[in-house]
Amino acid sequence: MTDAFGGKTLVITGATGAIASAVALQAAAQGARLVLGDIGAEALDALCAQIGAGRCAMLAGDVRDPENAAALVALARTRFGGIDALIPAAGIYRDRAFAEMSAQDWRETMEINLDAIFHLIRTALPALNPGAAIVNLTSIAAHRGSPRHAHYAATKGALLSLTRSLAQELAPQVRVNAVSPGIIETQMTRDLLAAHGGALRAATPLDRFGTAEEVARAILFLAGPASSFITGEVIHVNGGLYMD
């Protein structure tokens, strides 16, 4: 392991989720300081303890609350002096036929997967250190749609557009990129795999599903110095299931 993130501060939401916790642990192993947010204090506590209290700060709260975004940014400033990488990873993926989708289903997915990222990025701007990077978690659904997840796919498509817009608007100070995972074996895809795992695997050239650790490596590539001339880009981590 290198110390590519030595002295750097990463702010991650949805931090105790499968992909985000893999990002936190890999970054910590490369010297990073972490500011972690998620709903549940207990899981956050356990993750921060694993990283070490001296290099980890945490805040339990709902990403839908703009005050939560402000408090996370303030925590990064007071504990570590600013932010070098912002990784808004909190998200929900609910199975709903469009004909049965309620306005509340739609709104809740918009609020967590998209509105919360607007609040976080906007609030974080003054705290971003020179050369900072933002890495958004889009999805294969942003590129090819997702039946029974139209609300989810709509948020991820919008997030991809937001990524490209901000890459232009925030340059040259800040780089903004995205990672679009395909089918990754996490809690989020448990029901999908139970229903369609065989067909999805058969359609994947690498003949398996991805791991959270594999997605985390792509996220950290875009978050760190190895991608210093890359902005407005999206990396697919999907075993070849979808190619642009």
Contact 21, 47 (CB under 8 A): yes
Locate all alpha helices (DSSP H) within the chain, ordered by sequence.
18-29, 41-51, 66-80, 103-110, 116-124, 140-144, 150-169, 190-202, 212-223
Contact 69, 113 (CB under 8 A): no
Which of 63, 69, 87, 223 forms a contact with ligand NAD (CB under 6 A)?
A: 63
Q: How far apart are CA 225 and CA 112, in angstroms?
A: 29
Contact 197, 155 (CB under 8 A): no
Single out the segment in contact with ligand NAD by CB under 6 A; choices: 1-9, 24-32, 95-103, 181-189: 181-189
Single out the segment in contact with ligand NAD by CB under 6 A; choices: 46-54, 62-70, 71-79, 162-170: 62-70
Contact status: 163 vs ligand NAD (CB under 6 A): no
Give the nearest residue (CB) to ligand NAD. Answer: 17
Single out the segment in contact with ligand NAD by CB under 6 A; choices: 47-55, 57-65, 164-172, 224-232: 57-65
The active-site residue out of 5, 80, 93, 152 is: 152
Select from 54, 19, 59 the least CA-distant residue to 36: 59
Shortest separation between residue 63's beta carbon and ligand NAD, angstroms: 4
Q: How far apart are CA 91 and CA 114, in angstroms?
A: 9
Which of 39, 70, 74, 193 forms a contact with ligand NAD (CB under 6 A)?
A: 39
Contact status: 38 vs ligand NAD (CB under 6 A): yes
For residue 201 the two structure tokens come to 């695997």
* Residue 177, strand partner residues: 135
**Contact positions with ligand NAD (CB under 6 A) in 85-144:** 89-93, 112, 137, 139
Contact status: 176 vs ligand NAD (CB under 6 A): no
Contact status: 64 vs ligand NAD (CB under 6 A): yes
Which of 11, 184, 219, 235 forms a contact with ligand NAD (CB under 6 A)?
A: 184
The verdict on whether 152 is a catalytic residue reads yes
Instruction: Kindly list the catalytic residues.
Output: 152
